[in-house]
Amino acid sequence: MPTIDIFPMGQIDDFLAYRLACCLEERFLFKFQVQRTQPFPRFAYNNIKKQYFAPAILKKTKNIRSEGSGYAIGLVDVDIYGISNNFIIGETNVSDGVALVSLCRLKPDFYGHSSDDDVLFQRALKECIHELSHAMGLKHCYNRICVMHYSTNIFDIDKKRNLLCSECLRRMKEKVGHPQGKKADDTLS
């Protein structure tokens, strides 16, 4: 069974990273290992946009992942953007098995609300499951409450559950040989 590395980058709270690792282990049935915090790659910063370029951070995540780890996910606390997007929450390189999630736009205070660690955790968990499922070969889902549903805004993320629907669970079984989660009744209908 492969290990999945979690790489905090920047000012990620250790408690949040370890809490995510525990919940992700339960969902994927893989061992998750939180690695030491990494600095941001300076070359990923775009001074004009005041954001970090996600594909560059993904490349760093790929290069620092542990020997023998099956997948890796980077956690960042800065605003990121992609090739054709002004901003993104997460990004995945399927061929390399690496994913990235930014906490920046998942924080309630980004939208002018009070800081709430539980809301941040739930959003981060959904996005980590979503991006890692992409890394394992899953595509977006049309079921609006499935974690693999494409989110266009924070409200979409809040509406989703942190589980795969039955169709995505079936596809996950085909891709990695076991269900995402311990019980079949943990799925969405």
User: Is there a catalytic annotation at residue 131?
Assistant: yes
Distance of CA 177 to the CA centre of its chain: 21
CA distance 70 to 2: 5
Tokens of 148: 């693999």
Residue type present at position 107: K
Nearest to 133 by CA among 97, 81, 89: 97
For residue 112, what are the contacts with CB-CB under 8 A and spacing of at least 6? none
**What's the angle, vertex CA 34, arms to CA 145 and CA 128, rounded to 5?**
15
- Give the DSSP letter string of 90-113: EEEETTTTEEEEE-GGGSGGGGTS
Tokens of 22: 């525990």
> Considering 67, 91, 131, 167, which one is annotated as catalytic?
131
Identify whether the C-beta of residue 32 lies closer than 8 Å to the C-beta of residue 71.
no
Q: Which residues are annotated as catalytic?
A: 131
